[in-house]
Structure 1
Amino acid sequence: MTSGGNGVIGLVVNPVAGLGGSVGLKGSDGADVQRAALAKGAEPRAGRRAAQAVATLLARRPGARLVTVAGAMGEDSARAAAVPYELAPSGVQDDDVSTAADTRAAVAALAGVDLLLFAGGDGTARDVLDAVRELGGQAPPVLGIPAGVKVYSGCFALSPATAGFVAADFLARPDSVEAEVVDLDEERYRRGLVSPRLYGSLRVPAGRAALSGRKAGSSDVAPATVEGIAREVAARLRPGARYVLGPGATTAAVGRELGLATTLLGVDVIEARAGGGADLVAADVTEGELFELVRGRETVIVLSVIGGQGFVLGRGNQQVSPRVLDEVLGDGSGDRLVVLATQQKLAGLGGRPLLADSGDQELDRKLAGHVRVITGYRESTIYRICAASEEFYG
């Protein structure tokens, strides 16, 4: 493949990436999980997010050539973005289901590009890493378009639009660095056991600020700090209001403080009682269930921050969808969106803002501004939040 002076970008899409997020399955690995997600009403989103990335890329660098593979693994996204593209023969089946072997075959078919974009999550990044190892010195740099339920690896751009911007800039300044690929055992993850494993590294465009970075753990945080945050949330409950508790150890501590059997990795709904305390309305809900539980009700959404990355929305809490956010927040977040984070976690961001990547860019822009972050008992701060797609290329 020759660039003709404008550069060649390859595109590979894992069409089932992120399928399990909105229906509370905590991942999308495995045919059984994918079938269960579809049965629960999940809608594929990886293709749409890939289309957003390539549309941004071609708008910024219209002379670039886009090369992809047939069907849902790339061609459908290029068509949806209404951009010119070329097909590379890969042997991949033209349908909506793909396997790890299909991803590896697609990467091999695009080995001659200047930069390879792939849409998926950490499992897809592992498959790309396997293919890159097989290609050896022929492998191009790669960049992930975040589309999975969990995106812990450092090889992903902050958002689909950011991926397009980074790719366009890379064609003008082709500098690269190494970024880590990590993943979780999804079966253990569904049982509440979070154990990221490092699988290797991929060569990605330089410019760390526009990449999500590897998720930082919170094992060094003193339990008393998290318990203090939970006590403060409990003290702020408004009788009759419903509270959506997102996934994470900090929000799970809120459930413990209230004596409720909430989940570590799911999204739960509680309702504050008059006189103190709360009742568990529903645990580990899907997006559809959550929407019905908050519709027409006074509701507060309580979310924690992903350490090292700063994400509040769009990573592991896809049940809190744009329509749920619209229903709860109305014209602005006000006191209906509360964020939980230790001072240590905020300090680890180095002044970078909190990030929203809900899947609706307009909604993310509406959320931009400042949000209250509870950092301990009787402790809170106001911290900046912005749309992930605009932090570095707004």
Structure 2
Amino acid sequence: MGEVKSNRKRVGLIVNPIAGMGGRVGLKGTDGIEVLEKAIKLGAKPVSPERAKIFLDYLKKLNLDIELITYPKLMGEYEALEAGFKPTVIGSVGERTSREDTVKAAKLMHGIGVDLIVFCGGDGTARDICEAIDLNVPVLGIPAGVKMYSAVFTFNIEDAARIVAEYLAGNLSVKPMEVMDIDEEAFRCDRLSIKLYGYLLVPYSPGYVQRAKSPTMPMDSELENQRGIAKYVLELMKPDVLYILGPGTTVKAITDMLGLDKTLLGVDLMLNFKIVAKDVSEADILRFLDDGGFSKACIIVSPIGGQGFIFGRGNQQISANVIRRVGVDNVIIVATWSKISNLDALHVDTGDLELNEKLRGYRRVIVDYREEIVFKVV
């Protein structure tokens, strides 16, 4: 612990060590002690410390002349030391961290006068930092939560290191970007309630920082488009194939056409045109894949509106382990014309860098009845 005395650029690092733990176990977030304890009982493992470490490994390779300022233990110190940095550690934390620790860390870094705060977490972490510093310090989010609807996150971990380097070199300006979050209790009950909580100044680079999540509007033309997609997908579906159905209204239109009750915001499993498991976790999916009883498995996903993510945002139950087991060639992407026309590319952020590369390239997207286009995945 000690005072910061340096003329170098100062980068603050805040890691929310519990962010993202609810994703793979199907809890759609980890806001609140009760939900966190439930996630742990379900076998949830920390996500953000490892993602922070990957970010720091990338940053280390760039050989930037920076002073890294962190909070203690798993809130940045341990990750920085493991990556080979010699961080300046400020503040103190107890055995269990809380949102108050995030707020205090951001306030302390603002008081010290850091040039940039990089945080690793999700929308809840972004809200806490917004509460602490408002528009007073530039901020960049490393995606590690479950939802990440805010426009303060980079598309992936590698992009975060590039933006830090470009911003500190004076090549990027900052832009106020939306901090969004959802009502997690409503989300768990299949209701999507998104609220704008404020803005953070973000080093802006188109193609590297994601936009805020855009909801799909239930217009007649959109609903008709979804029905066309559903009809075509059903014609392509085969018996004895396990279909892993991602969240969203476009995928749900498929089961609606069969008169089946699918979880809107969760992941369900369908076999022989019947729902065999609802709102499953990663462990549930892997268990079904292990048990067999079908000829093959396929994943059906639709991109998040405005962001374009097909994996890594809101569907972490379909993890890298699941995708590898199913196979990247057995992924079916569906998207309405209105959604796809507002995207420059589709995105993947599975947490597995090798798998990300296998998923990237040009992939077929079903956009209407017997209509497909080829779209870039980055």
TM-score range, shorter chain: over 0.9
Q: Take 2:125 and 2:218, find their aligned partners in 1: how far apart are those partners?
A: 29
Post-superposition Cα deviations, 1:181-217, rounded to whole Å, max 9, x if no partner, equal: 0110111111111121111110111213210111112
Aligned runs of 1:84-95 on 2, under 5 Å?
A: 84-88=86-90, 90-93=91-94, 95=95
Post-superposition Cα deviations, 1:287-322, rounded to whole Å, max 9, x if no partner, equal: 011012124550110001111111100001111111
Aligned runs of 1:355-374 on 2, under 5 Å?
A: 355-374=347-366
Shift of 1:13: 0.8
8 Å CA contact retained: 1:21, 1:318? yes
Q: Take 1:203 and 1:359, find their aligned partners in 2: how far apart are those partners?
A: 26
Identity of aligned residues (%): 40
The residue number in structure 2 matching 1:164 is: 161
Shift of 1:81: 2.2
The residue number in structure 1 matching 2:375 is: 383
Shift of 1:220: 5.1
The residue number in structure 1 matching 2:245 is: 245
Aligned runs of 1:142-153 on 2, under 5 Å?
A: 142-153=139-150
Segments of structure 1 that go 5 or more residues without pairing to the other structure are: 273-277, 387-394
Q: Take 1:77 and 1:256, find their aligned partners in 2: how far apart are those partners?
A: 46
Secondary structure of the 2:168 match is helix
Segments of structure 2 that go 5 or more residues without pairing to the other structure are: none
The residue number in structure 2 matching 1:343 is: 337
1:258 to 2:261 alignment: no
8 Å CA contact retained: 1:141, 1:203? yes
Secondary structure of the 1:148 match is coil
The residue number in structure 1 matching 2:66 is: 64
In the alignment, residue 158 of structure 1 is paired with which amino acid? Answer: F
The residue number in structure 1 matching 2:75 is: 73
8 Å CA contact retained: 1:22, 1:318? yes
Aligned runs of 1:63-212 on 2, under 5 Å?
A: 63-88=65-90, 90-93=91-94, 95=95, 97-111=96-110, 112-133=113-134, 139-173=136-170, 175-212=173-210
Q: Take 2:216 and 2:209, find their aligned partners in 1: how far apart are those partners?
A: 20
Q: 1:341 to 1:3 in 2, by over 3 A?
A: farther
Shift of 1:344: 1.0
Poorly superposed stretches of 4+, deviation over 2 Å: 1-5, 79-84, 294-297
8 Å CA contact retained: 1:92, 1:106? no
Secondary structure of the 1:53 match is helix
Paired residues in the alignment total: 367
Q: Take 2:83 and 2:341, find their aligned partners in 1: how far apart are those partners?
A: 39
Q: Take 2:231 and 2:85, find their aligned partners in 1: how far apart are those partners?
A: 52
The residue number in structure 1 matching 2:7 is: 4
1:298 to 2:292 alignment: no
8 Å CA contact retained: 2:245, 2:299? yes
2:283 pairs with 285, 288, 293, which one?
288
8 Å CA contact retained: 2:229, 2:368? yes
Q: 1:255 to 1:131 in 2, by over 3 A?
A: same
Q: Take 2:72 and 2:244, find their aligned partners in 1: how far apart are those partners?
A: 41
Query: Which moves more between the two structures, 16-25 or 223-232?
Result: 223-232
Post-superposition Cα deviations, 1:142-194, rounded to whole Å, max 9, x if no partner, equal: 11111110010001111122111111111101621111101101111111111
Shift of 1:51: 1.3
Q: TM (normalized to structure 1)?
A: 0.90
Q: Take 1:84 and 1:251, find their aligned partners in 2: how far apart are those partners?
A: 47
User: What is the CA RMSD across the aligned residues, in angstroms?
Assistant: 1.5
Q: Take 1:150 and 1:156, find their aligned partners in 2: how far apart are those partners?
A: 11
Aligned runs of 1:219-238 on 2, under 5 Å?
A: 219=217, 221=219, 222-238=222-238
Q: Take 2:78 and 2:253, find their aligned partners in 1: how far apart are those partners?
A: 43
Shift of 1:343: 1.1
The residue number in structure 2 matching 1:38 is: 40
8 Å CA contact retained: 2:60, 2:83? no
Q: Take 2:228 and 2:157, find their aligned partners in 1: how far apart are those partners?
A: 36
8 Å CA contact retained: 1:61, 1:168? no
The residue number in structure 2 matching 1:392 is: none
Shift of 1:2: 5.2
Shift of 1:3: 4.7
Q: TM (normalized to structure 2)?
A: 0.94
Q: Take 1:91 and 1:170, find their aligned partners in 2: how far apart are those partners?
A: 29
Secondary structure of the 1:197 match is strand
In the alignment, residue 142 of structure 1 is paired with which amino acid? Answer: V
In the alignment, residue 274 of structure 2 is paired with which amino acid? Answer: D
Secondary structure of the 1:151 match is coil
Q: Take 2:27 and 2:5, find their aligned partners in 1: how far apart are those partners?
A: 42
Query: Which moves more between the two structures, 148-157 or 224-233?
Result: 224-233
Q: Take 1:74 and 1:55, find their aligned partners in 2: how far apart are those partners?
A: 13
